[in-house]
Amino acid sequence: MEVKTIDDFYRDTSLLVPAEINREVGHFNVFQIADLIAIRARKGGSEMPYNRRAYYKISLICGRNRAEYADKVIEIETNALLFATPKIPYHYYPLDDQQSGSFCVFTDAFMVPSKSGVVLDDLPIYQPGSVPVFQVSDEETEQIRYIFNKMQKELASDYAFKYDLLRTYVLELIHFGQKLQPATSLYPTHTASSRISSLFVELLERQFPIESPRQQLRLRTAKEYAGQLAVHVNHLNKVLKAQTGKTTTEIISNRIVQEAKILLKQTDWSVSEISNSLGFEEVAHFSNFFRKQTELSPVAFRA
């Protein structure tokens, strides 16, 4: 499945890419949801264009919406504060045309610990299994809207240290969210199994393609995928077996073999480099794995 990058986001929304997008500060920007909806309407689309992302996003959502995770569905009836991370996939659906609010997008490079003082993925709000959607009152909505307004004003300023200040505002939103209780409108649905299966595949595909020998698979085992999706490994295996006829390990192995074949045929990387990028500690382990799956050694397949 396609993963939306920052560049994809700007291309899909017809917005101009800021000059600073790839500078050493990382990337940060803030938007009004109504403006994005208007742009999508002019382009003939209605869905929000950032469901699958390779960046962080914090949103103040005003309107009826639904967020679907691997193990839960969260209904948003009025106002909510939503935190999205590239490492935890989810689907987000507006349920009516009365949508407003604000959101900011930023890369991990923007919030690098040496600048922000925090490691984003160590924060409770970004942990697998957390529920990063918070229903907020009208008073809280105004407080959050005030922070977003500060972001927009500062982003337009010529203050030399504005990005340091913007990082402070991002942290203000994060701490605001962590002090709230998570939304409680969770319920099981008859589509829970298909949703887990879909999100597993999305998480799997986010690791590919391997584009450099220095790139490594982050997730390799069924247990690691289950942990990222916040479901028990046995439940994930049961769901995938019922949906696909294959175990979690079989699906992961098949995708790794597929990528290995591409790298062997379409790159000049050594077998050792390919082995390492696919997460094998020893070349011999990779060779045995590949032979078991294809009945050929990597060298023989490449010939």
Convert 215-261 into a string of H (helix), E (strand) and C (coil). CCCCCCCHHHHHHHHCCCHHHHHHHHHHHHCCCHHHHHHHHHHHHHH
**Pair (96, 244) in one structural domain:** no
pTM to 2 decimals?
A: 0.65
Return d(Cα 257, Cα 261) in angstroms, integer: 6
Give the domain extent around 86: 3-185
State yes or no: cis peptide before 113, omega within 30 of 0: no
Q: Which of 26, 32, 78 is nearest to 56 (CA)?
A: 26
**Pair (24, 129) in one structural domain:** yes
- Domain boundary residue among 124, 156, 185? 185
- The full DSSP string for 191-213 is THHHHHHHHHHHHHHTT----ST
Phi then psi for 210, rounded to 5 degrees? -85, 115
pLDDT tens digits for 3-33? 566 666 666 665 555 555 445 468 899 999 8
Distance of CA 156 to the CA centre of its chain: 27
**Pair (181, 196) in one structural domain:** no
> Could you tell me the maximum CA-CA distance found in the chain, to the nearest angstrom?
67
Residue with tokens 């697998």: 128
**Pair (29, 177) in one structural domain:** yes
Low-confidence ranges of the chain (pLDDT < 50): 1-2, 21-22, 24, 46-52, 184-190
**Pair (201, 177) in one structural domain:** no
CATH code for the domain of 249: 1.10.10.60
**Pair (177, 240) in one structural domain:** no
**Pair (23, 170) in one structural domain:** yes
**Pair (90, 204) in one structural domain:** no
**Pair (134, 209) in one structural domain:** no
- Domain boundary residue among 185, 217, 235? 185
